Structure 1
Amino acid sequence: MSTFDSTKKPLPEVVREITEGNLQLPDFQRGWVWDDHHVRSLLVSVARSFPVGAVMLLETGGDVRFQVRPIENVTFANGTPDPERLILDGQQRLTSLTQVLALESPVKTFDEKGNPIERHYYIDIESALDDERLENAFVSVEPDRKIKSNFGRKIDLDLSDRQKECEEFHFPCNQILNSDSWEESLQEYAPEKFPRYMEFRRKVLNAFRSYQLPIIALGKTTSKEAVCLVFEKVNTGGVSLSVFELVTASFAAENFNLRDDWFGSNLRDVEGRQQRLKAEPVLQTIEPADFLQAISLLRTHEKRQQDIAAGKTGKAVSPVSAKRSALLSLTLADYKRWADDVEKGFGLAAKFLRKECIFKSRDLPYRTQVVPLAAALTHLKERWLEPRIHDKLCQWYWCGILGELYGGAVETRIANDLDELLAWIDSSGEPPRTISDAAFQPDRLTTLRMRVSAAYKGLHVLLMREGAKDFFWKSTIQDLDQEEINLDIHHIFPIKWCNEHSKEPSLYNSIINKTPISYKANRMIGGKSPSSYLNAIQKHKNVSLSDEEMNDILRSHHIQPDTLRADDFDSFYSARKEELLKIIESAMGKKPEGTTHDQP
């Protein structure tokens, strides 16, 4: 059954509906952005009776409700009326035509540089009657209705009153739909031009008055998801709207300001959820859509459990979902029910991440994986600290990171993970697919070279969690990181030494030859051989370490000391690769593919 109708409407009728308030905009529509050139080009197209594209409208009065607003510059004497239909596609065209054709005030538009300007629009009648000159017949003038040159000292065209308009034979565009008053003035001030004007009226004005706009009208039964999807499909000329903006517009119809709830408001002295979450450094990058996804996961998971308890099976059981359509179907009641608990769940996620030695957002392997983690912890509350549950959460989390399963589009995995993770924790299900799908190929270590990789960040964190100590400061890397000492992941065999000894960049730039150390230690390493810089660090007046003490530090980084002291890159590389694979195996609870060593 079709949910839309196609028809045509005369342009004057559409403009009248806009000025009367029967046709308005949903508040998620961006502002009017067309510049003066676009406006004049549109007027030329209508004057030539060229198609300017269909307009898509949505009938109001159904279950889908949005906060609404009039088209820019349109005002009402007795307050804004309730609209009968909303404009989903055609805002820029209809705003341009309404301001030009129906309003006395100047059109609020933009110059070619994007600066706001105000203009009145006229038609040079003689130019309009010449097909070859019609493109240039539409002119715009400043609010004083004059065109000037020589830095404003010379007036080239003065249209500041009705008599001058008639004498200059320039027709005001806001008289196009009803020219009776202007025609009377023309007969008074320039009657000799009236025959020529009548030719212009038949050729140009009638083109506007009889112009038919194609209309696609969506019925009031159209779902919110469909409305938003349609809007985004047709809104190719503007900036894509986020799901947060669309949900914000939906909630605004029920007098709830989701933007203030999330971002806060200085005017209303309201602290937003984002501000509270960002108090946790590891949550600095959490986005509003992440928060909505966590709410959607919990809402749909609860509905799924209710369906199962009611005896439903197969497709009759509601799925857990974090997809866009599920977020758009959230009601204000859903949001109010879950928002406070989910905020606490993200706080628990920050605590979990700190226990795993992830303290800052730059070290967070996947922001997307925090969503199901926060949803699960919202459900579990303090139970997440129970050893058995915590171990399961850790295995799932690290399998997602080291299996590199949370990059790209992950809505399906997020939903599956929450459902399967909670069932597994309650001992009534198999491990989540993220655990069974996760695989780490040993050769992947060689290709991990930059921090942008989730697995690279994960290994860096695991080394800190294992208690790696700094080469210079008497402290663990983890403690130095907390004290905001300048740290980074640096080469163990320096690049200069590796190049001098013909080592392959693909090997020496991999994470196998890198480890987290302080800037102080890195400066002392420089481009020296390992045996040389170890000796220099140990003998530094502020360090003074024995060989065994230095060897203990190296072992905390899973480096075999003898290989460094012998400057044996190949032996070092092979041994450390095996050590890193053991760390990975311990975190994932499963052997990397193709390995046979025992888990420590």
Structure 2
Amino acid sequence: MEVVKMSSIKLRDLLRDTYNGRIVLPDFQRSFVWYPEDVRELLVSVFGGYFIGSMLFLESTREEAPFALRLIEGVEKVNPEARIQYSVRILLDGQQRTTALFYAFHAPNIPLSNRKYPHKFYVDIKKALAEEWEDAIIGVSIADRRRLAEIRRNRYMVPLTDFTDLEALVSRFEGDPNIPVTRLIKLYNDVMEYEIHVITLPSETSLDKIVETFERLNKTGMPLSTFDLATARLYKYGINLRSLHKEAQERYEFAKILPPELILKVIALIRGKEPRRKNLLELDHNNFYEEWERACRALELAYRRMTDIKNGYGILDFKKWAPYSTLIVPLAAMLDYLHSNKKESPENYTKIDAFYWTAVFTNKYDHAVDSQSFSDFNDFILWVEEGIAPEFIEKFDPETVDLDVSSVASAIFKGVLSLIVLKGALDFKTGQPPQFELYRNKIQVDHIFPRSLYNEDRVANRTIITTNQSKSNKKPSEYFKERIQELGEESVLNILATHLIPPEALEALLKNDLETFMELRKRAIIDEIKRRVGVGV
């Protein structure tokens, strides 16, 4: 049974174990990123006896550690002989604080974040004894010669690298009436025996439990991702996930905007596993390179299919307009299955289309995404191999789709916008195709009946326009009468059709009849959903 231990570690022991390689980092941890003031403020808290938060350790051995390990940043600079010990305490949460303390008390010759030169930290003993903590701790760049000269002239300024030697510290101020020896020793002990709260996980703790514990502790810091843990675990087998991801970003569009964890999820599906965190952390290293590349190719195909505004799924901007970004995982696995098993055919691609649009308009991926992906992928295979359509597709009734949604964040809302993009969304004023490529970042979701006049936000009163179009706040009767005079009624009807507005709705527009317009538009949208789903309905 995994038993979490609560305890504490003294600052002197933290510094010692870091120096000798007993406290180490998993390879997934990011580099030290604190600024000089961050380090100084932490030191103020330690000297003042304030709480600096908890640290999370995993007990293990060098050989049995679930991750590749490395020394704390700066250790090798001050201790070239340092090696990772056999028995280790793997620091999962507390890296920045530990590295900052080690940096301050050992002064490795490395610059802090966004600085050209290293910093050194000092304590003004006189002010520290007066408990003037904010003024007692000073950090200065080694390039600041003037400030360093001032510090050297102040005999009460002690480098923190010297503070750890009690005998030398006492000797330095021996006979000084301003520095009572007993109080100096107490200051030293208070700092070096400062206790930091520690949570320790036993060596048998599962990776899944490690992530969950970390996330519960680290609500405000940088989240520990599944990809981070997988990176560290696979590194032991010579697989560098960060390098693979960087290469993928250079080669594939999807990898530039989507989290790398999705690649692991597709690999899991390809291997017949549910893409939940536990399974991702246990991915076998055998054949990993081949399946990584296979998953990347599949995700790129899925991404292109979803963002194809003519023959795909009409998503103009994946981050902003994808009904469910997570749908790309089962979609990629399905595309890979057809290719790998030589099942590519118009009929089977139509099945993928039916899956996609049904999932969007049933809000299927609002929750339990990983189990949904696994279930849907297996149902798709059964559909391809045995002709048994998934129950959720067979039972899907487009008439029940909620077209009263008004939130642009809704999957149904975004799905309708995608349908409009696929229809063409011609410019109301000119009748020309919209310049989506030129104005992709400036797409507007406009009201057909102006919101300022009708206060109607539901999706049936919305459409896509680009910034070179403007209806201002004219009533539909006025605006579309102008369009008919300029372009002719037939052209206006053709333009409306590309916005999923049926011919009979023109009369409602010219009469400013919002209620009738909404019903006719909903009917047109439902008919388009039926057409897109096709199979199984």
TM-score, shorter chain, exceeding 0.5? yes
| Conserved 8 A contact 1:109-1:117 | yes
Secondary structure at 1:28 match in 2: coil
Equivalents in 2 of 1:122, 1:396: separation in Å?
66
Aligned CA distance change for structure 1 residues 91 and 71 (closer, same or farther; 3 Å): same
Query: Cα deviations across residues 330-358 of structure 1 (Å, max 9, x unaligned)?
Result: 24436324112212222432564443353
1:274 aligns with 2:275: no
| Conserved 8 A contact 1:106-1:143 | no
Query: Cα deviations across residues 68-97 of structure 1 (Å, max 9, x unaligned)?
Result: 232346525546512433222333443343
Q: 2:506 maps to which residue?
A: 564
Secondary structure at 2:204 match in 1: coil
Q: 1:124 maps to which residue?
A: 125
**Cα offset for 1:37?**
5.7
Q: 2:486 maps to which residue?
A: 536
Equivalents in 2 of 1:206, 1:563: separation in Å?
83
Equivalents in 1 of 2:93, 2:333: separation in Å?
36
**Cα offset for 1:375?**
0.9
| Aligned partner of 1:369 among 327, 337, 360 | 327
Summarize the alignment of residues 468-547 of structure 1 with structure 2, pairs less than 5 Å apart. Answer: 495=450, 499=453, 504-506=454-456, 509-514=457-462, 528-538=478-488
1:91 aligns with 2:95: yes
| Conserved 8 A contact 1:490-1:514 | yes
Q: 2:267 maps to which residue?
A: 295
**Cα offset for 1:431?**
0.8
Equivalents in 2 of 1:145, 1:516: separation in Å?
57
Secondary structure at 1:193 match in 2: coil
Secondary structure at 2:203 match in 1: coil
Which runs of no fewer than 5 residues in structure 1 stay unpaired? 264-271, 302-319, 539-546, 592-598
Counting aligned pairs with the same residue, the percent is: 22
Taking structure 2 as the reference length, what is the TM-score of the superposition?
Answer: 0.79
Opposite residue 329 of structure 1, the aligned amino acid is E
Opposite residue 532 of structure 2, the aligned amino acid is A
| Conserved 8 A contact 1:109-1:119 | no
| Aligned partner of 2:301 among 348, 352, 361 | 348
| Conserved 8 A contact 1:348-1:377 | yes
**Cα offset for 1:398?**
0.7
Secondary structure at 2:56 match in 1: strand
| Conserved 8 A contact 1:32-1:72 | no
**Cα offset for 1:40?**
5.2
Equivalents in 2 of 1:236, 1:548: separation in Å?
59
Q: 2:140 maps to which residue?
A: 142
1:238 aligns with 2:221: yes
Summarize the alignment of residues 249-260 of structure 1 with structure 2, pairs less than 5 Å apart. Answer: 249-260=232-243
| Conserved 8 A contact 1:494-1:529 | no
1:456 aligns with 2:443: no
| Aligned partner of 1:262 among 245, 249, 267 | 245
Q: 1:178 maps to which residue?
A: 165
> Which has the larger Rg?
1
Equivalents in 1 of 2:137, 2:417: separation in Å?
64
Aligned CA distance change for structure 1 residues 144 and 116 (closer, same or farther; 3 Å): closer
Q: 1:396 maps to which residue?
A: 355
| Conserved 8 A contact 2:74-2:108 | no
| Conserved 8 A contact 1:490-1:517 | yes
Opposite residue 495 of structure 1, the aligned amino acid is P
Equivalents in 2 of 1:296, 1:276: separation in Å?
22
1:325 aligns with 2:297: no
RMSD over aligned CA atoms reads 4.4
Opposite residue 535 of structure 1, the aligned amino acid is Q
| Conserved 8 A contact 1:488-1:516 | yes
Q: 2:380 maps to which residue?
A: 421
Equivalents in 1 of 2:461, 2:42: separation in Å?
62
| Conserved 8 A contact 1:396-1:432 | no
Aligned CA distance change for structure 1 residues 74 and 462 (closer, same or farther; 3 Å): same
Equivalents in 2 of 1:338, 1:295: separation in Å?
6
| Conserved 8 A contact 1:57-1:216 | yes
Equivalents in 2 of 1:468, 1:146: separation in Å?
62
Equivalents in 2 of 1:137, 1:519: separation in Å?
55
**Cα offset for 1:402?**
1.7
Aligned CA distance change for structure 1 residues 524 and 385 (closer, same or farther; 3 Å): farther
Aligned CA distance change for structure 1 residues 447 and 223 (closer, same or farther; 3 Å): closer
| Aligned partner of 1:220 among 195, 203, 212 | 203
Query: Cα deviations across residues 134-176 of structure 1 (Å, max 9, x unaligned)?
Result: 535733253569997xxx7xx9x8443xxx66xx344443233
Secondary structure at 1:119 match in 2: strand
Query: Cα deviations across residues 508-542 of structure 1 (Å, max 9, x unaligned)?
Result: x544345567877867997634234212113xxxx
Secondary structure at 1:426 match in 2: helix
Secondary structure at 1:447 match in 2: coil
Q: 1:339 maps to which residue?
A: 292
Aligned CA distance change for structure 1 residues 517 and 565 (closer, same or farther; 3 Å): farther
Taking structure 1 as the reference length, what is the TM-score of the superposition?
Answer: 0.71
Opposite residue 405 of structure 2, the aligned amino acid is T
**Cα offset for 1:372?**
0.5
Equivalents in 1 of 2:304, 2:186: separation in Å?
73
Count of matched residue positions in the alignment of Structure 1 and Structure 2: 521
Opposite residue 203 of structure 2, the aligned amino acid is K
| Conserved 8 A contact 2:32-2:113 | no
Query: Cα deviations across residues 7-39 of structure 1 (Å, max 9, x unaligned)?
Result: 555543332221122322223333445555665
Q: 1:70 maps to which residue?
A: 72
| Conserved 8 A contact 1:448-1:455 | no
Query: Cα deviations across residues 521-574 of structure 1 (Å, max 9, x unaligned)?
Result: 867997634234212113xxxxxxxx5566556556554545525723434443
Equivalents in 2 of 1:368, 1:564: separation in Å?
38
Opposite residue 135 of structure 1, the aligned amino acid is W
